[in-house]
Amino acid sequence: MNRLREDGVCVELCPVSNFQTNQFVPADGKSLGREYPLRAFLKNGNAVCLNTDNPIISYTNMVKECFQASYACGGKGLSLWELLRILRLGFVHSFLSLPERRSMLELADQILFDLFSDPGVVEDLRCMATCSDGKKEKNI
């Protein structure tokens, strides 16, 4: 893991097919089996991205991959910022040409800026962060 980090290698994970083909368990400390390595890669500072390995066979898409990745981390799963970082790293480490990568990153950054500039989204996120006890849950 350290060598991958030092060499700037991005680890591509495909959580849905990884769970279908391996005996991974959520990181809850209660289940027997191998823990999914995503959280370990993140803690070690490795670049990680999510992808769909075989969308037709696994009946998956990027939304399902994100939910499976969060589930795999156990507990409260991935934070919003961890997930956004992981998704952005997919663009940073893509096999596109440098101009294409820059365009994709600018577009992704603009979409995120627009999203987080929306007062309704900001209020929903604030409620999610402060209402974690479930008492004042707001529908999103």
Output the DSSP codes for 1-67.
-HHHHHTTPEEEE-HHHHHHHS-EE-SSSSS-SEEPTHHHHHHTT-EEEE--S-HHHHT--HHHHHH
Residues 45 and 107 in one domain: no
pLDDT one digit per residue (tens) for the chain, 140 residues: 999 999 999 999 999 999 888 878 766 667 677 889 999 999 999 999 999 988 888 889 999 999 999 988 888 889 888 999 999 999 999 999 999 999 999 998 888 888 888 888 888 878 877 775 545 444 44
User: pLDDT value at position 28?
Assistant: 66
Cβ atoms 2, 40 nearer than 8 A? no
Residues 101 and 86 in one domain: no
Residues 72 and 21 in one domain: yes
Residues 85 and 121 in one domain: no
Query: Could you list the residue range(s) of the whole structural domain that residue 90 is in?
Result: 2-95
- Distances in Å between the alpha carbon of 49 and those of 89, 90, 121? 6, 5, 25
Residues 80 and 108 in one domain: no
User: pLDDT value at position 37?
Assistant: 93
Can you say whether the dihedral through the CA atoms of 128, 134, 135, 136 is positive or negative? Answer: positive
User: pLDDT value at position 128?
Assistant: 73
The model scores a pTM over 0.85: no
Show which of 77, 95, 113 is a domain's final residue: 95
pLDDT in tens, 43-61: 999 999 999 988 888 889 9
- The residue assigned the tokens 């005996």 is 23
Give the contacts of 85 (CB within 8 A, at least 6 positions apart).
none
Total domain count for the chain?
2
Tell me phi and psi for residue 14, to 5 degrees.
-125, 80
User: pLDDT value at position 140?
Assistant: 40
User: pLDDT value at position 52?
Assistant: 92
Percentage of the residues of the chain whose pLDDT score is greater than 70: 90
Tell me phi and psi for residue 24, to 5 degrees.
-85, 150
Residues 59 and 17 in one domain: yes
Residues 47 and 27 in one domain: yes
User: pLDDT value at position 14?
Assistant: 94
User: pLDDT value at position 102?
Assistant: 93
Q: Which bin fits 16, alpha (ψ -120 to 50), beta or left (φ > 0)?
A: alpha
